[in-house]
Amino acid sequence: MTRRGWIVPLAALALIALVPGLRAVALGFLDGAFGGRNLFNLWSTLSRASILLGMAIAVLVAFRAGLINLGGEGQLVLGALAAALVGIYAPLPGWAVASAALLAATVAGGLWGMLALWLDRGLRVPLLVGSLLLNYPAVQFASWLASHPLRDVASGSAQTHRIDGAARLPRFDGTILDYGIFLTVAVALLAILADRYTVFGYRLRMQGLAPDFARAQGMPTRRLGYQALFLSGAIAGLTGFTAVFGFAQRYVDGMLTQPLYAWTGIVAVLLAGMVPWRVPVAALIFAVLATGAGGMERVAGIPRESAQIVIALAILWLAGSGRSPMPGRGR
C-alpha cells in the first residue's frame, strides 16, 4: 500500500478513537464478531466463514478457468438437499451415512454445474445466463420438498427431520462450531495448491488466461470446461453437506439462500483479485462483517442489514474501479 493509501484507514481509526459514538459502534461491532458469552460470536463468525470459504473456492475454480459460474446458490442447495435425504433415509451406520451423504452432495452439485455448461454449448444459452437461471428451479424445488413431502410437521417449520446423531459432524466442546470447518479448509488448501503446482491447475489457468493458446497447445479445452464446472459445483455441494451435517443438522428452507452465501462468495473472490491465497482472507472479512453487524444493531441501533449494504457498495466499487479482474484475467 502506498503512503497515500494509508490515509483512509488511519483517518478512520482516529475518528473511532476520538468520537465517543463511533467508538461505541466499533466496540459493538467487535463484540458482535468476536465476543459474547463464552466467545459465542467468535464461533458464529468462524462457522459463517467456513460456508463462505467453501462457496468462494467453488467460484474461484470456475473463474480461474475463464467460466462465469453464477449458479453456486443452486449447486449449494441441491448438495445440501441430497445430503439431507441420504442422512435421513439411508439405513447405514453413522460413518457410512456421512460418507454417502458427502458423495451425494458433491455429485448433485457437480452435475448441476455441468448442466449450465451443457446449456451453453448444446443449446447456446450463455453460461452466465444459464447458470444464474438454474438457481431458481433448484431453490424452489428444495423449498417445496422441505415444506411438503419431507417436512418435519412436528417442528412447525419448513424443514426436514434431523440427521441421526451418529452421522452428524461433531462440534467443538461448548461451541456451535463443527468439524466441517476442517473439511472446508482442506478443500481450500488443496484447491490453492492444485492451482499453483499441478498440471490440471496450469491447464485451467491457461484456458482462462488464453483459450486460443490453450487450444493451439492441444489442451482438451472442452473437457477441461466440464471438469472445472463439475469441480466448482461439487465444492458448492460439499459446502451444503457441511451445513446440513454440521450446524443445522437438517435441511431448513432458506438457511443457505437468505444469508446470501453464494453471492458473497463471488464478491470475496473478486475482492481477492482472483488470487487464490487471498480468497480465505476475503471470506473471513465478509464473515466478520456479517456477524459484527449484529453487535452494531444491539449497541447503536444500526440495522444488521447494513452489512448487506456494505457488500453491495463493494460490488459497485469493484465493478466501477476496474481493480478486480474478470474471469480469464486472473493471476
- Residue 162: inside a domain: yes
pLDDT tens digits, 219-253: 999 999 999 999 999 999 999 999 999 999 999 99
- Residue 18: inside a domain: no
pLDDT tens digits, 75-84: 999 999 999 9
- Its domain, for residue 141, covers 34-321
- Residue 288: inside a domain: yes
pLDDT at 48 over 60: yes
CATH number of the domain residue 196 falls in = 1.10.3470
Residue with cell 490453450: 214
The grid cell for 262 is: 453464494
The grid cell for 92 is: 447405514
Q: Residue 127's pLDDT is what?
A: 96
- Residue 223: inside a domain: yes
Q: How far is CA 329 from CA 64, 81, 151, 163, 217, in A?
A: 8, 34, 45, 42, 19
The mean of the pLDDT values for the chain is 87
pLDDT tens digits, 91-106: 999 999 999 999 999 9
Residues 179/184/185/189 CA torsion (nearest 10 deg): 150
Mean pLDDT value of segment 291-314: 72
pLDDT at 304 over 60: yes
| pTM, entire model | 0.90
- Residue 13: inside a domain: no
Number of domains in the chain: 1
The CA distance from 296 to 319, in Å, is: 28
- Residue 297: inside a domain: yes
Mean pLDDT value of segment 282-302: 80
pLDDT at 40 over 60: yes
Q: From the CB of residue 3, how many other CB atoms can be counted at a distance below 10 Å?
A: 6
pLDDT at 330 over 50: no
The CA distance from 193 to 206, in Å, is: 16
- Residue 329: inside a domain: no
Confidence of residue 271 (pLDDT cuts 50, 70, 90): confident
Q: How far is CA 213 from CA 200, 203, 206, 218, 219, in A?
A: 16, 11, 8, 9, 9
Q: Residue 24's pLDDT is what?
A: 63
- Residue 99: inside a domain: yes
Confidence of residue 299 (pLDDT cuts 50, 70, 90): low
Mean pLDDT value of segment 285-295: 83
The CA distance from 181 to 209, in Å, is: 31
